[in-house]
Every structure is written in structure tokens, then in C-alpha cells.
Amino acid sequence: MGAIRLEKVKKSFGTLDVIPGVDLDINDGEFVVFVGPSGCGKSTLLRLIAGLEDVTDGKILIDGTDVANEAPAKRGLSMVFQSYALYPHMTVYNNIAFGLKMAGESKDVIDQKVQSAAKILNLTDYLERRPGALSGGQRQRVAIGRAIVRNPAAFLFDEPLSNLDAALRVNMRLEITGLHQELKTTMIYVTHDQVEAMTMADKIVVLQAGRVEQVGKPMDLYNNPANKFVAGFIGSPKMNFLGGELAAKHNCHEIGIRPEHLTVSTESGVIAATVKIAEHLGAETYLHVEADGLGPMTVRATGEMPLGEHDKIFLTPEQDRIHRFDAHGLALGPS
Amino acid sequence: MSTRASTLTGRIMSAPSIIVLFLWMAVPLGMTIYFSFLRYNLLSPGMEEWIGTLNYEFFLTDPAFFASLANTLLLVGSVLVITVVGGILLGLMLDQPIFGRGILRLLVIAPFFIMPTVNALVWKNLLMDPVSGMFAWLASLLGLPAIDWFTNVPLTSIIIMVSWQWLPFAVLILLTALQSLDRDQKEAAQMDGAGPVAIFFYITLPHLSRAITVVVLIETIFLLTVFAEIFVTTGGGPGLATTNIAFLVYTQALLQYDVGGASAGGIVAVILANIVAIFLIRLIGKNLDK
């Protein structure tokens, strides 16, 4: 079981409120991703849940019990660190076994649990090695193995993939998702990468400056962002924000349109623009354009597109995909 | 150094310094070895003659040699234990965010900058003096008789003084090592349910092993040749109680004017130091390979 509930959780360092007060419900078995730009307090929030930082105020309930003043080990959570934090002088086996040893488990129980964790994570052949002799992906797996054996109420991941190269990252992403499907344990995952958030999460929590901007399923955030910040943060390339006359036509301060919701034409359209840079990826083409009177925009067109620098094009937004925002950046809903 | 030409240039450029360093070491060593086979006493100049290994026989069969060998080992061993254990404890303390940490660190490092002779004088006259020393005063406050340190526990006194001198070095090295310990590792251990004691023995101490090796090796080199502290305070006495090998060689050469015998003693000391070094490197040097 691993239902976690945060009630008015607050964290201050001196006079600086890093987290002014967060309420959040995480259901048992859910894969929740905290996402936000660096310095938004997502790691701090995770560390508060883990117990590595003391809360200034508020409650952290795990399965109904307030653990805000409990020691980290007593909370029944496991954490995978960004730096892996493996014990360099211990073998892989001892790294994984350490938590069980501290819990006073018998040798047989430890051995059986370590072996089964090693099997799940393909580490059986490496148990006698030290972390220094492993590759990045293997170290990552050891760190996960160390978390698994303790049979925690929830896993906490603190940007676990940011030290891996791009190809490995995609692999580990799938492995962690697979692990979640297999174990069905609650997972809280911190990342600044919205792609990881979109692909892995059951529920995304978007944070900015310690405040929860929006909570929801990935596609909900994509289709109905609550404000300009979420709209800009979720989705890649970033949403285009346009003000001026075009926005006034939609009765709002600013409109947002995603690069993939713009149709490109060389003959006619709503917005005239000049191509600055065209990135041809084969399956799709990213056009970085300068729209007349509106400034820079990004367009994502499917397939190949024979366009280059200085080409004149016309863009037409899909009408029902236009997001409207008021002067405070809050979403207004469809017009 | 990738090409043959650059390798050659490198060798030519570094040759002068290597040659100078080699001569710097080889000439005195060679002269010492040569003298050690001579009857060479400054009281009878011009009478030098080759006497083979006689100097060595005299030196090695001298009861003073075994006494001073035991003293040397006792001194080195005790100081190592005190400085390493004390260094770890002080290092742990100074690694905590305590009030006035900067000043405290400075104070802890200070003894290392005091020259050994001054160190010995401070301890001899201000602290350990049985009449006017601070320890005697403290003892009198408690109604205890004053200890005459250099008469009753001479070697212990030397060990205390030398430890005080070398503790800062150990603290300095060990504190740096402590500061390089990844915070994540401690936190991971915390999540794994390890308490402060378990974290110390399973995480901190293994992390320090290399630094401890460095401290032990470097201190050993210097502690084998402790001289000033003994010269200033006890003069090797009472009897031979505080005479170590270095001091014994000094008495041979400069109190008995026996250059030959002293040279033999010096060579014996060099050999002993090498034995200790081989021993140490076998024992703990593998820590450095990791």
C-alpha cells in the first residue's frame, strides 16, 4: 500500500519560502511525475516526502498516518538518487543488501531477496563487482535494485536518468515503466524533462516556484493547460504565444497555438511568415519562422517539406486547437 | 608525448633536474656508506683506516641499539594511533556546521606551523614543568601531587608532544576527505535505515581508508626521525628511556665524535626505514591502488 497525501506542506530556508504550501493526493499504485524548470522546488518536495528534509509546516500522510516527523527509514519509502549514490567500496550484492542488513534480516532472506532483485534487473552476473566497474545504465539498475529489495510503500526517483546518454535514457524510461507495471507500487518521479513526464506518468504535477500549477493526466495537461506556464512547459517544441490583433479577434489577451497545430501553405493563410531555419528530420520538419508583425514562431510539419531560409509561407492555426489566455496568463477556455 | 621526437625532447629537457636530484641523493648516501666502513673518529684525525664491518658489529650489538629501536617503534606506533583516531574524531567534529567553525579550524591547524623545537620548549617549560607548569597547577587544584613528566614518564611525554604536533596534519587530510564524501551516499544510507554509528562504520570509514593510508605513510616517514623534541626536552634520557635511532646516531657522531660508527648507524636506520616502508605498503598500500 502506498497512498500519499500532502496537506499544506510548507518548507522555508530561513525567510525564503521554497515551498509555500502544497496540497496533493497520490493514490496507491499511481505513477506520479513532478515536473518543472530547475529551481521550482520539485526535488525539495521529493526530499520532504522522503524525510531527508524537515517540513516547516504541514502534514505528510502515508496510508493515513502522518509521517512528517518520522525518520526517513521509518517511512517505508525507497529513493533512487540522481547520482545513484551507490556505496563505492561495496560490491553490487552488498549495495543491494545493505538496507536489509540494516533492518536485521537473516542471511538467507537477504540472499533470496537480492538474487530475485538481481534477476528482475539483469544484474546476476555483476553481483560481485564494485560500482566503479559498471556502466551508467548498470549503476542505475543497482540503485533501483537497492530500492526494490526493501519492498517499499512507494519509490521516489530524483531525476534518475539525467546522467545517462540519450539512447540509454529511452531504454531506462521503458524499463522503469515496465517495472511499475510489474510491481504496481506507487512511484513518484522527479524530472525537468517534459518528455519523460508525458511518456511515463499516470499523473503529472507541474510545479513552478514551489507552487503546484496544475495536476492531471498527461493528455489533459496537453489539451487543457490551466495557464500559460503549463501550456508552455508541456509539449515540445514549445507552444507559440501570440498577442495583438490576432488575440483581440479571439476576445483575449493572448492566444497560444502549438507548433503541431499550424498548417503550412505557400499560397494563403492567416499568418504570413518568413522561414529563418528549417530543421529536416525526415518524419517531420521543424520550421523556425519570423511571423509578420508577431515575432518568432515555431512550426512542426509532418513529413518532408522543401523549404529553406528566406522562403515566404502562410500559417493557419487549427481553430479548435487555439488556447486563449487572459492578462494574468490564466486559460479562458474555448471561445 | 605522442611522437618519438617529443618523447626524446621531453627526456632531454627533464634530464638536468633528474641528474641533480640523483646526485643530491647518491653522493651523501655513498659517502655515508664509505665512512661506515672506516675507523673515523674526529678526536684522532688522520688515523682513518678501513675496518670492514666492525662499525656495524659494534652498533648492532650495542644494548643501546635495541633500546632505541624499541623506543622508535613505540613512539611511531603510539603517535600514529593517537593522530589517526584523534584526527578522525576532530575531523568529524569540524565537518559539522558548528558555531565558530572557521576559527576552530584555524586553531586546530595551528600546531602544525610551530617548529618542533618551539613546540618542545612550550611543553617543557609552560605545560609539563613540575613546579611552574600548567599541568602541575591543574593537579594542585585537584589536590593531586604534580607529575614530573620527563623524569617519571619520559617516553609518554615525548609521545604526547609529538602527537600534538602531528594531529593537525591528520585532521587536515582527514577533514578534506570527509568533505569529499558524497552527501547522497549518507542520505541513501539513511533511507536504507542506517543510524549515525552504522553510517560511520559502513560509509564514512571506508571512504576515509585512502586518506588514512596517506596519513600513516607520510607520518611514519617523519616520525622515524623525530629529533628536536627529544633533544630539547630529555636529551634521550633518563638513561636511554627516550633515545630513538635518530638520537642514537646523533650521540655517536656528535657526542662521541665517532663518524664511522654514526655512519653505520645511519645506514642501519635507512635500512630499518625501508623495512617499515615495505611493511606498510604491503599492509595498507593496496588502498592506494583503487
Note the pLDDT of residue B287. Answer: 64
Q: Least CB-CB distance to B190: which of A72, A87, A88?
A: A72
Q: Is B190 in Cβ contact with A73 (below 8 Å)?
A: yes
B97 near A CB under 8 A: no
Measured CA to CA, the distance from residue A17 to residue B123 in angstroms comes to 53
Q: Which residue of B has its CA nearest to A158?
A: B184
Residue-wise pLDDT tens digits, B5-16:
888 998 999 999
Q: Is A83 in Cβ contact with B189 (below 8 Å)?
A: no
In this prediction the pTM is 0.77
Q: Which residue of B has its CA nearest to A88?
A: B207
Q: Which residue of B has its CA nearest to A144?
A: B188
> Which single residue is written with the C-alpha cell 658489529?
B57
All domains of chain A in start order, with CATH: 4-232 (3.40.50.300), 237-325 (2.40.50.140)
All domains of chain B in start order, with CATH: 56-288 (1.10.3720.10)
A253 near B CB under 8 A: no
A54 near B CB under 8 A: no
A85 near B CB under 8 A: yes
Residues A250-270: what's their mean pLDDT?
A: 88
Backbone angles phi, psi at B74, to 5 degrees: -65, -45
Q: Which three cell numbers stand for residue A135?
A: 556502466
Cβ neighbours of B182 in A, within 8 Å: 83, 85
Q: Which residue of B has its CA nearest to A99?
A: B192
Nearest to B227 by CA among B209, B196, B251: B251
Q: How far is CA B174 from the centre of its chain?
A: 17
Q: Report chain B's terminal Cα–Cα distance, integer Å.
A: 26
Cβ neighbours of B198 in A, within 8 Å: 102
DSSP symbols for B51-105: -TTHHHHHHHH-HHHHHHHHHHHHHHHHHHHHHHHHHHHHHHHHHS--TTHHHHH
Give the β-pairing of A31-35 and A203-208. parallel
Q: How many CB pairs under 8 A join A and B?
A: 62
pLDDT bin (cut points 50, 70, 90) of residue B114 is: confident
Residues A122-127: what's their mean pLDDT?
A: 88
Q: Is A73 in Cβ contact with B193 (below 8 Å)?
A: yes
Residue A214 near residue A206 (C-beta atoms within 8 A): yes
Q: Which three cell numbers stand for residue B210?
A: 585512502
Residue-wise pLDDT tens digits, A278-307:
999 888 999 999 988 888 999 998 888 888
Measured CA to CA, the distance from residue B45 to residue B284 in angstroms comes to 47
Q: Which three cell numbers stand for residue A37?
A: 524548470
CB atoms within 10 A of CB B92: 15
Mean pLDDT of chain B: 85
pLDDT bin (cut points 50, 70, 90) of residue B288 is: low
Best residue in B185, B186, B191 for a mutation probing chain A (most A CBs within 10 Å)? B191
The length of chain A is: 335
A81 near B CB under 8 A: yes
Residue B187 near residue A81 (C-beta atoms within 8 A): yes
pLDDT bin (cut points 50, 70, 90) of residue A136 is: confident
Q: Is B187 in Cβ contact with A52 (below 8 Å)?
A: yes
Distances (CA, A) of B134 to B99, B119, B126, B131, B159: 28, 15, 6, 9, 18
DSSP symbols for A119-147: HHTT-GGGTTS-GGGS-HHHHHHHHHHHH
Q: Which residue of A has its CA nearest to B197?
A: A102
Measured CA to CA, the distance from residue B65 to residue B274 in angstroms comes to 17
Q: Which residue of B has its CA nearest to A82?
A: B184
Q: Is A102 in Cβ contact with B194 (below 8 Å)?
A: yes
Looking at the predicted structure, is the pLDDT value of residue B290 above 70? no
B289 near A CB under 8 A: no
Distances (CA, A) of B77 to B70, B162, B224, B259: 10, 12, 10, 30
Measured CA to CA, the distance from residue B254 to residue A328 in angstroms comes to 91
Residue-wise pLDDT tens digits, B157-200:
899 989 998 999 999 899 989 988 888 888 888 888 888 898 89
Q: Least CB-CB distance to B191: which of A50, A90, A132?
A: A50
